[in-house]
A = this chain, B = another copy of it.
Amino acid sequence: MPAPSAAAQSTKERILGAAEELFARHGFEGASLRQLTSAAGVNLAAVNYHFGSKDRLVEEVFRRRLDQLNGHRSTALAKVAGLPETTIEDVLAAFIVPALELSHDAGGQLFMRVLVRAFAEDDDTLRKFLSDNYRHVMRMFTSEFARLLPHLTKEEVYWRVDLVTGALIHAMSGIGMIQRRSDVTEHEHRELTAEHLISFSAAGLMAR
């Protein structure tokens, strides 16, 4: 076993990092294992040795990030859920800020593009995997939104939360018109994004 204190990351971690980037740039089928292992500086056979197959590697890329995102969202929500003084903006912040913070380390925005791709895939196995890893936390948020919006039907809440999700994904994936200006730091841009998303979404959720 190589010493974990060594300067370089482990082979598995290097593969996961390169995979996240290349899957985002070229898609799951567009990124080849040869590109991937070359970018990671590991041998071609290392992917099948450590992950079994390319498909399992794809799942591992998702699991790593989704666990992180779900964890941060859950703890953020737990701090405000059920309290009488909690506002829509508080819950939205618990929903949005952890997602934006995912892009703190370099791979985060790329991961969002991977996620967008994944949902557009027709691969039922992958979609089910994502749904299973995503639904639980989403339920907690929708029920909290429902508590704060008692005049709306359950279905209406689903609709609006889904639209918030769309706006969030769009803003995070960096595929829209809004790009970070060169005169603002990444940190400032993230805070700006959060502010715009929260005020826009809060108004949308409370419509009528």
Q: Which residues of A contact B (CB under 8 A)?
A: 24-30, 113, 116-117, 119-122, 138, 156, 158-171, 173, 175-178, 196-197, 199-208
A122-B26, A202-B207 known; A165-B176 Cβ under 8 A: yes
CB-CB < 8 A to A171: which residues of B? 162-163, 166
Chain B CB within 10 Å — which of A121, A161, A162, A166 has the most?
Answer: A166
| Number of copies of this chain that the complex holds | 2
Neighbouring B residues of A161 by C-beta, 8 Å: 177
Instruction: Give which listed residue, B25, B121, B138, B201, contacts A204 with CB less than 8 A.
Output: B201
A100 nearest CB across to chain B (Å): 14
A159–B181 Cα distance when bound, in Å, is 13
Q: Are B177 and A138 in contact (CB under 8 A)?
A: yes
Given A120-B173, A165-B176, answer yes or no on A159-B196 (Cβ-Cβ < 8 Å). yes
Looking at the assembled complex, report how far the CB atom of A166 sits from the nearest CB atom of chain B, in whole angstroms. 2
Would you list the 4 A-B pairs with minimal beta carbon distance, nearest first? A166-B170, A203-B207, A29-B30, A119-B175
CB distance from A208 to the nearest CB of B (A): 6
Cβ-neighbour of A163 out of B28, B119, B170 (below 8 A): B170
Q: Is the CB of A166 within 8 A of B160?
A: no
- In the assembled complex, the Cα of A204 lies from the Cα of B166 at a distance in Å of 13
CA distance A129 to B33 in the complex (A): 29
Shortest distance from the beta carbon of A98 to any chain B beta carbon, whole Å: 18
